[in-house]
Amino acid sequence: MEIPDNNLVLQTKKITKNYPGVKALDNVDFDLYRGEVHCLVGKNGAGKSTLIEILAGSIKPDSGIVEILGEEYMQLNPTKSIALGIETIHQENFLAEDLTVAENIFLGNLKRNKAGFFSISRCIKEASEIFASLQVNIDPSVLVNTLTPVEKKVISIAKAFSEEVKILILDEPTAALDEEVENKLFKTVKKLLAKDVSVIYISHNLEEIFLLGDRVTVLRDGRKVSTRYVKEVDERKLINDMIGEEKNEITRDKKAGTKDGKLEAINFSRRGVVKDVSFSVHRGEIFGIGGLVGSGRTELVSLIFGVDKKDNGRLLLDGKDITPKNPVDAINKGIGFLAEDRKSNSLMLYRPIYENISVVDLIKRSGAFLKLKNEKKSVQDISDKLNIVAPSINQLVIRLSGGNQQKVVFGKWLLANSDILILDEPTVGIDVGAKEEIYFLIDDLTKQGKIIIMISSDTPELAALCDKVGIMRAGKMVKILELDEVTEENILKYSIGSQS
């Protein structure tokens, strides 16, 4: 190394963290030098978040050592981490929206006047000084809730200046920002570097890494793949490291689509969220939607299903207009929506399996009274077909594993016999066995001539299953990959925003 070792501020040695069924981190060594920007990249689930949460003290590692400024720690806690000068800036801003900017800057360390009382004027004055040194043009006396998202991000970072920060962790700070502001943000970061602060920078945007980074470490499936100087790598090398050479276990015969009948989504728009998205998908096909979290994927399908109000957009099935006005209308027109985050959007956790599965079908039926026998029989059939592991269909959903819960959500739409199925992250947080069963199920649905639209952050999954993949970026569908273009590499390349 050309940098002398006494400049080492942080080092992790053989950090390992297991979750049920997943090795989140596997013997990861990572180091950080004074005044450098060390970037951390990898696919979703590669272990980036777990690593930084261990450094921030919010997760305890199973084994391994964290060394900070020469001191070794088996585990940290948030208070300890902050005391050691580690500041984490999360993707979301954790600011007190109803307080002033100045109060937020000094929240952990509010300024007092001579009498010992809190002094807002001192806070404002000192915040102004910090802003001036950063060349930030924000009035410290205004309320945070009047600021733009970008200004809030800048303030989150400026907060670091009010404290004795030695290590700043930035978790995808630019995911919601446009370029102009990114520059401002970068300037702020550079000011920090000049103060000998070290930065760990997580980003999906490779361009930023080349702009800002000194070194870059790639994580994949919880393991460190490489650490290199940014000068010595190119995008291709990084993407290769991120994907690896793993063989795909998932296979689907993509030519099985019947090609008659076609669903067209035309010009779906919602101001500031989704910009003029159009695509089409045949019966028996899977249309994948790729892109980063926050790129407008979920927002797009919410418009299609009629959850959110749209400014524009029509849905045609075989040329016939079936644009849903609201979810009720969508379901009546044969569309099903497996929403992301099953616990908050799709399940009644404290109700039994059978009530969860029959709800859509039940609502569609006429008649005031339930036909409990029929209901339980048809739910039992679905449950057997999906291989839901539970003592009986009277079991409360809260007591099922993630995979089985997701099968319950699938069961709901299977029983409703939806013709078009929108799946938003259908395999998040479930074990490998259940994943495969769900892939099999999705494939089976396409063979019945159903139309599937599927959002996923799991790139191999999208690449292996989908006939076409539309890539979302900043609310736009920037690219639609056709059958033979659907590869992991392409999906990743267009998602992270470099067309080179």
Partner 1 sequence: MDNKSQNNVAVDINKGRSRAAALFRKQEVFLAIFIVVLGAVVAIVNPLFLSIQNFFNIVLAVSITGISTIGLSLVLISGEFDLTLGALMSVQAILFATFATKIGTGIAIVLVLLLGIVFGLINGLLVTRIKAHSFIITLALLSVYSGIALVISNGEWVSMKGIFPVFKGKLFEVIPNPAIVFVIVVIVFAIVLRYTKFGRILYAIGGNVQSAYLSGLKVKNYKILTFTLAAILYTIAAIVLVSMIGTALPTSGDVYMLEAFAAAVVGGVLLGGGKGSMLGIFLGIIVFGLINNALVIMNVDPFWRDVVVGSIILAAVAISGYGASRK
Q: Which residues bind partner 1 (CB under 8 A)?
A: 20-21, 305, 307, 327-328, 330-332, 337, 339, 344-351, 355, 359-360, 362-365, 367-370, 372, 387, 389-390, 396, 398-404, 412, 431-434
Please give the angle made by the CA atoms of 123, 128 and 134, to the nearest 5 degrees: 130
Closer Cβ to partner 1, 392 or 498, answer by number: 392
Name the phi and psi angles at 64, rounded to 5: 105, 170
Q: How far is the CA of 171 from the CAs of 17, 48, 136, 219, 321, in angstroms?
A: 19, 9, 21, 15, 43
Q: Nearest approach, Cβ of 404 to partner 1 (angstroms)?
A: 7
Q: In the structure encoding, which two tokens stand for residue 391, read together?
A: 């003592």
- Nearest Cα residue to 206 out of 236, 181, 179, 226: 236
Are the CB atoms for 495 and 295 separated by under 8 Å? yes
Largest CA distance in the chain: 80
User: Of 177 and 360, which CB lies nearer to partner 1 in the complex structure?
Assistant: 360
Least distance from partner 1 to the Cβ atom of residue 324, Å: 10
Rounded Cα gap, residues 308 and 330, in angstroms: 12
Q: Which is nearer to partner 1, 99 or 396 (CB)?
A: 396
What is the smallest separation between the CB atom of 342 and partner 1, expressed in angstroms?
A: 9
Nearer to partner 1, 24 or 218 (CB): 24
Euclidean distance between CA atoms 244 and 380, whole angstroms: 42
Least gap, CB of 265 to partner 1 (angstroms) = 19
- Nearest distance, CB of residue 370 and partner 1, angstroms: 6
Distance of CA 468 to the CA centre of its chain: 21
33/439 with CB nearer partner 1: 439
Instruction: Give dist(CA 61, CA 381) in Å, integer.
Output: 43
Toward partner 1, which CB reaches closer, 109 or 326? 326
Distance CA 330, CA 360 (A): 12
| Whether the Cβ atoms of residue 105 and residue 130 lie closer than 8 Å to each other | yes
Locate the DSSP E strands across 221-273: 223-229, 262-270
Query: Among residues 121 and 326, whose Cβ is nearest to partner 1?
Result: 326
With respect to partner 1, which residue has the nearer C-beta, 125 or 399? 399
Least distance to partner 1 from the beta carbon of 129, Å? 41
Residue 324 and residue 328: Cα distance in Å, rounded? Answer: 8
Q: How far is the CB of 200 from partner 1 (least distance, A)?
A: 30
In whole angstroms, the minimum distance from the beta carbon of 366 to partner 1 comes to 9
